[in-house]
Structure 1
Amino acid sequence: MRLRNRVMMPPHGSAIGNLWGSEADAERNIAYWKARAEAGVAWIDGVSGHIRNRFIPGFEPTGIGAEYTGYYRLPFFVERVQQFADTMHAAGATVSAQMTMQGGVPHAPSPTLSNPVTNVVPHVLNRDEIRWFVDEYRYSAERAQQARLDGIEMHLNHDDMLEWFLSPLTNHRTDEYGGSPENRARFAVEALTAVRDVVGTRMTVGVRLNLREEVPGGYDVGGGREIAQYLESTGLIDFVHLVVGSPWGNPSYIQPHFYDPGQWAALAGEIKRSLRIPVVHTGRINGPDVAERVLADGHADVVGMARAHIADPEILVKAREGRTDDIRPCVGGNDCISRRYVEGLPFGCAVNPHAAKEIDGVRPRADVAKRLLVVGGGPAGMELAALTAEAGHDVAIWEAGDRLGGQLRIAVNAPTYDQFARYLDWQTRRLDRLGVDVRLGTSANAENVLAEQADVVAVATGATVRTPAIPGADTAANIRDVLTGAATVEGRVLVVAQDDHMPPLAVADHVSERGHQVTVVYATPGPAPLLGRYIAGGILGRLGERDVEFRFMEEVTEIAGDAVAVRNVYSGRAGKLTGFDSVVLACGGISDSALYEQLRERREQVHVLGDAYAPRRLVFATRQAYALAQLI
C-alpha cells in the first residue's frame, strides 16, 4: 500500500454505524469514514471483521465479540465492503480489514483464564478444530480480496483467540501448539500462511500485536519483540501494528485521560528497532503534535489515531493549514465506546455531537436569522450558542459566573482533567470567533429575560449541589467546594458516593493525591456502575496505588463527628465507620429549572436543556444542544 501520509485510523466503526446492518446503517457508517478520508487520512483500517465461529449445536457464546456466522460469511459481505472500499479509494485512502476471533467465546488453547475479572472457563481447541479455523481464515481472505480491499490485519491482541495461543499465561498445551514461542505462534503462522496463499503479494498483510501483556504470567516487552521478530522471519507479514492494553484493565486498550498522550510510544520504538518491516503504533495519539513526536523520535512509521478523528474529522486539514488552535480536542472520557457497550445508547462523542451524523451533511444556514438568548454558559449552553451562531442566528449567552464552563470548569481541577480544560478553552475561542455576545456576571430572572425580547430563549442553568437526606450531611463538604478549594479536608477522608459515574472517583483522586487516606463508600455492589471497562481500570489503578479503600453495598445513614453510620443495602445490617476527620459528599446534583418553569408560562419558544432538565454528563449536554439547534 502506498500511503499519502503516515496516519492510519484503526477500527472503531462498530460503535458508529453497523456496516453489516440495513442499507441505511451501512450508509451512515461509510459516511463517517468518508469524511475522515476526504480530510486526508491515508489508511482506513475500518472494516472490523469477525470470522465465523464454531461450536456444538445449541451452544450459546456470550460476551463482546461472541459472533455466530461471522462477517466474512454474510451473503452481502463482498458487495457491502466493495461499497466501503470504493468510497474510501475515491477519497484517496487505502483500506484494510481486520480478521478477529475473540478468545474464550468459547475457544482457547487451554482451560486457563486470561484475566482476573472474567471467570467463564473456555473450551479447549483440538487439532481438528484448529485446522477448521485455519480454513476459515483462508475463506475470509478470499472474500476480503473479492471486496477490493488493499490489506488484511490479523488480530493477535486484546484477548483474541490467536493471542491466547501466543501467550504463556493462557497457552499451557503440551502438543505442537504449546511450549516454545515458536510452537505458541504456530496457530497464528498457519492462519497467516492460509491468508497469504490466497492473496499472494496482491494485498498487504500485517498483524496487530500487544507489545506486552498486562497480566502477570503474560509476555513482557521482550516477549513481544520475540514474537514480532519471529513473525517477520516467516516472510508472511508486511507490517506490525503495536499497541498496549487489555479489554478490561489498567491500561485498557482504549486509554482514557488518566494516561499521557503517546505514553507507550517508546516501547513500540524498542520493538521497531529490532524489525525491518514498517511499524504502526496506536495509543492515545490525540493530536498532530503527539503524532509528529512519535514519528520524529523513530518510534513508528505510521501512527493510528481514532478518537482524535472522532472529535474532529478535519484534524489533518487544520494541522496542514497551521490552524492547530482550531482543532477540537478529544477529552479522553471514552463515552464514545462506553455509551454503546455499557449503557446500550447510540454512539456519541462528548465534544463532537455531529460524529456519526455525517450522512446528514453540513447544517445549512438559517433562512431567517433569529435572536437567541442562552441563559447559562455551561457545556450545553456553549454548544447550543456555537451551533446556532454557525447557522447564522444572532446569539447571546448570559452567564452568572465570571467564566464560561459551568460544572465542567470545576471538574478540571481534578487530576488528569487538563483535556477538559483545553476543550472549554477551545469552545470559548469558538464563541468569540463566531461573534456570540457573551455576558459574564449576568444573573437572569424572568423579568430581565422577558425584557430582552429574544425570539428564542434556551435555559441551560445547570444543577445545584445535591445534599442527601442523611442526618449530619450538612456538616460535610461537597465535591464542588473541595475541587475548587472553597472547602478544605483534613486527615482521613470519607467520600460518600451517590453517583454512578466518575465524580466520586475523581474527588478521591484529588484528595488522595494530596496525601490524605481516603475511603469511598458505595451502596452499589461495585464502583461507578456506568463507567465501563474501557475506562474504569485507569482510575481504579490510580486509586489503588494510593491505598484508597472501597466499601460496597453500604448506605451511609448518619454522619456524626468522626463516625459514619452505615447500613448494608441488602441485609439491612447496621454498622459504624470511625476515625474520619473529613467527610465529602459526591452525590450528584438537582436540576435548577426554576427560571424555565417561570418563563414557559409567560412566553412561547422557551426551551430547557442540559443539567437544568436532568443532571447528566458532558456527552448528554452537547447532544441535547445539537438536537435543539436543529429545531431553531
Structure 2
Amino acid sequence: MLVAASASDRKDLIGIVDWRAEELARLGVDVRLNTYADADGVLAEKPDAVIVATGGIPDMEWLEGAEHCDSVWDILTGVMPAKADVLIYDETGRQAAISCALHLARLGHAVSLAMADDTLAIETPYPDRVSFRKLASELGIRVVGDLRLIKAARHGNGIAARFRHELTGAETEMTAAQLIVERGTAPVEDTYQELRARSANKGVTDIALMTGVATKGVQGLQAPGSFVLHRIGDAVASRDIYSSIYEAYRLCSQL
C-alpha cells in the first residue's frame, strides 16, 4: 500500500493504512513492527489460529532477461531511478502499471506502455478505465495492446523487449532506455509452508467457512495446543487491495 500510494494519482490510498493503524491502536492490538515472524517465532506465541498475510513480491522470474528489467515497485519506491525514455509492460490490467506510467509522464519522462490486453487497465472499474485512457492520451503516453513480453536483452545503452502478438503470433521488438515490468506478485509463503504440516487443518481453508455456510468457529475445534492455519491476500495469489480486505473479513468474521 505504501508503494501504491507513492504514485501521483493514488496518494489518497494511504488513508486505508492510516485508518487501520488508528483502529489497531484504539482496540489495543499488540502490533510488533520490524519483526520477522518465522515458524518458531509464531509457535512461541502458542496461537489458536494463525493467519498469514505476508503479501507478495514483484513476479519477475518468469521472464528471460529479467535481470535487465525493473519493477513498478523499484520505480515508485525510488530504489531504481527512472530514465528519460521508459517502456512499461503490463500483464495484469490493474492500476499499478498505468499509475506508474502517469507518474513518470508527469515528471517529464517519455513513456510507452505495452500490454497483453486489448484495452488499457481492463481489470479496473469502467469509470477508472476511461479516466486512465483519457489521462494517458493527454500526457502523450504511447499505448500498444495485444502484446505479450517474451524476452528482454541489452541493446546498446538500453533494453530491447521482444513481444509476441496475442492474435497473430508475430514477434516484434521495442527498445527503450529502461524496461519496467508489471505482472503482479508472487506469494511470500516461506513461513506458511513451514507451519503447514504442524497445523490442525494442514493450512487448508474450508470454502464453507469462508462463505459462512459452516458453523461459526468450526475450524477452531482443534485439539488442545494445536492451531489452525490460513493465508489471505497476495500471500495466496496476486490480487488487489479490495479483494484482500474482503477475504480477511470473510475469514475473520467466522473464527
User: TM-score by structure 1 length?
Assistant: 0.35
Q: 1:624 is matched with which residue?
A: 247
Instruction: Please name the residue that 2:33 is paired with.
Output: 440
Aligned to 2:31, what secondary structure does the other structure show?
strand
Q: Select the residue among 561, 586, 601 that pairs with 2:197.
A: 601
**Structure 2 letter corresponding to 1:546:** L
Q: Distance in 1 between matches of 2:199 and 2:48?
A: 10
Residue 231 of structure 2 aligns to which amino acid in structure 1?
Answer: V
2-structure distance, mates of 1:416, 1:526: 20
Task: Report the Cα distance in structure 2 between the residues aligned to 1:457 and 1:558, rounded to whole angstroms.
Answer: 40
Structure 2 unmatched runs, 5+: 201-227
Choose the corresponding residue for 2:178, options 575, 582, 591.
Answer: 582
Root-mean-square deviation (CA, aligned residues, Å) is: 1.4
Distance 1:603 1:555, change over 3 A: closer
Task: Extract unaligned runs of 5+ from structure 1.
Answer: 1-407
Q: Shift in Å at residue 486 of structure 1?
A: 0.7
Does the 8 A contact of 2:122 with 2:129 survive in 1? Answer: no
How far apart in 1 are the matches of 2:196 and 2:163? Answer: 42
Task: Within 5 Å, give how 1:206-355 maps onto structure 2.
Answer: none
Distance in 2 between the 1:583 and 1:614 partners? 24
Runs of 4+ with >3 A deviation? none
Counterpart of 1:546 (choices 136, 139, 144) is 139
Q: Is the 8 A contact 1:479 1:585 kept in 2?
A: yes
- Bigger strand share: 2
TM-score, normalised by the number of residues in structure 2 = 0.84
Q: Does 1:454 align with 2:47?
A: yes
Amino acid at match of 1:619: Y
> Alpha-carbon deviations, 1:480-538, whole Å to 9, x = none?
11111111121210001111211110111111111111111112222222113221121
Offset, 1:557: 2.2
- Selected match of 1:467 from 60, 70, 73: 60
Q: Secondary structure at the match of 1:443?
A: coil
CA contact (8 A) 1:468 1:587 kept: no
In 2, Cα distance between equivalents of 1:629 and 1:469: 34
Amino acid aligned to 2:76? L
Structure ranking higher on relative contact order (CA contacts 8 Å, 6+ apart): 2
Query: Would you say the 8 A contact 1:564–1:577 is kept in 2?
Result: yes
The residue matched to 2:103 in structure 1 has which SS? helix
What SS class does the counterpart of residue 439 from structure 1 fall into?
A: coil
Q: CA deviation at 1:468?
A: 4.9
| SS of the residue 1:631 aligns to | coil
> Whole-Å Cα distance in 2 between the matches of residues 471 and 458 of structure 1?
34
1:409 matched to which residue of 2?
2
1:560 alignment counterpart: 153
Q: How does 1:118-129 map to 2 (within 5 A)?
A: none
CA contact (8 A) 1:499 1:586 kept: yes
Q: 3-state DSSP class of the match of 1:493? A: strand
Taking the aligned partners of 1:594 and 1:418, their CA distance within structure 2 comes to 31
Q: Is the partner of 2:57 in helix, strand or coil? A: strand
SS of equivalent to 1:412: helix
Is the CA contact (8 Å cut-off) linking 1:459 and 1:596 kept in structure 2? yes
Q: Give the alignment of 1:160-239 within 5 angstroms.
A: none
The partner residue of 1:569 within 152, 156, 166 is: 166
